Each structure stands twice: as structure tokens, then as C-alpha cells.
Amino acid sequence: MLRDISTPGQAAASSPRRPDRNAPYRPASDDDPLLHGHGGVLTVDRLGTVPYVPTWELQDELAEQRRGRRIGDRLLLLEHFPVYTLGRGGDESNLLASRERLREIGAELVRIDRGGDITFHGPGQIVAYPILELKDPLDLRRYVRTLEAAMIDTAAAVGVTGERLDRYPGIWVDGERKLGAIGVRVKRGVTTHGLALNVNTELRWFDEMIPCGIHDKGVTSLALELGNPVPMEKIEDELARQLARHLGLRLTEGLVGVVGPGGGREQ
């Protein structure tokens, strides 16, 4: 996780009270909002399977528009072609594959500006990038808990019990197998990056790295836990619904396919 605030804050005397780090998780509500635009709309754009770098650039473009209030809160749902991403401060030695090996298996390595260490994105994994304006003062811990809660409830909808694990953001099964990863960035109040939920992911991809730099834990997928493949569209729909619910937003469908810099569909 990474908190990047580049706008000077108000004087201490006029600053809102800082969030209580020890407060239990609670979904957003009218009395206790998480977002600047609580009660508004979360527009879902379903991009299909897309390469990593152009999607990262798209997030930054949409985030800048969100800061300028030219668009509302957005949710990008997609799958990536095989890619390993390394967050700021991540240790490249956690990638076990050589450059030659990456070429052989058809994957790439991209250093990015989110928090966290190394993770994998690829087919069979649903990735969600919320572009949201958080309210001031920022409560990054609560935001991460919100993403975790949405994944936990999504997994529960198909009969898999996920849970949080202290010190390790994401969701886990039996405290040993990581089912969903989280890595976020907040710049001038607006979020980018997000979460990745293993649905039908081929877990062999994780053999090429030490996931999140954690040596003594494994990874899993909904398909592995259930013993059969899971319809991707069903999980995508449920994840969108749970994210909107926990964020206190109303869900609406946006575009299907590639979204351009202005937030519209490219032909």
C-alpha cells in the first residue's frame, strides 16, 4: 500500500480529525462515509483481457479526471495477459524467473507505483481497479479493509470462506493460502490500482516468484478450493456488487471493451 499526498494540508487547527487506526471495520454509510461522493454512483467498465501498461496509463488518466470532477467514481474490471508487477520498495529477488525464463513462458515484469511487493496477474484472475475520491482525512486502512471485505463476501457467495490475516493485506483461506491480493495508491485523494482475485487462475505462474515476498505461505483460487472451474462472469458481477455495497455507492453499468483517455469507449 502507498499513500501519496502531494497537496499541502490545512493548518492543524482546522484539519478534520484523523481516522482511528484501531477502529473496527465498518462499511460506508450515510453517517460514516468513506468517499467524498458517498451515496453516488459507481460506474463499472468491463475491459475484457488487456495488457498491463496501457491499463496502468488509463488508470492515471481517469484518476486525473476524477480529481477534476470531470467523471464520477469508476471501477475497471478486467483480466490481464501474464505479467508480474513489482511495487515501489519491492524486492526484485522475489522474482525467481530470469529474463530468459519470462520470455519462454510469455510473461513480462513491470515495476509500478503501487505499494506492496511482487504479484502476478493473468487469465483466470479478476482484477478490479477502483478510481475513487476518498474523503478527507484519508483513511487508507479502512479503504483496504473495504476491498478485503468485498472479496471475502464475493468468495462466500460461491461457498469459499476467506479471511483477513494480520500484517498481510489481502484475503486468505485457512490463514495459509492467499486467495486475493491488494496493492493500492492514493494520490491527491484519488485511488488507483486495487485488487486481484484468483478465480480460475493457473497457479503454476506463482511458482516463478515468492508471492508478495512472503516465504511461508501459499496461494489458491476459487476453482482449487471448490474442485471445479467457476464462471468468471458470475464472480465479476458479484465482486462489482459487493464493492459498490461496501463503498456505499449505487452500481451502474458503463462500457464494455477498451476505455479511452476521456473515459469513453474507443472504437
Distances in Å between the alpha carbon of 161 and those of 126, 149, 151, 207, 222? 18, 12, 10, 24, 10
As a whole number of angstroms, the distance between CA 42 and CA 121 comes to 24
Distances in Å between the alpha carbon of 210 and those of 14, 99, 126, 176, 202? 45, 16, 20, 14, 16
In this structure, the strands spanning 190-198 and 125-131 are antiparallel
263 in helix, strand or coil?
coil
Q: Which residues contact 215 (CB under 8 A, 6 or more apart)?
A: none
Cβ 28 vs Cβ 248: under 8 Å: yes
Q: Which of 195, 212, 230, 239 is catalytic?
A: 212
Q: Cell 498481510, residue?
A: 168
224 in helix, strand or coil?
helix
Is 142 an active-site residue? no
Concatenated DSSP letters of 18-69: PP-TTSPP----SSS-SBTTTTSEEEEEEEEEE-HHHHHHHHHHHHHHHHTT
Cβ 239 vs Cβ 196: under 8 Å: no
The set of cell numbers assigned to 229 is 472451474
What letter represents residue 202's amino acid? E
Catalytic site positions: 212
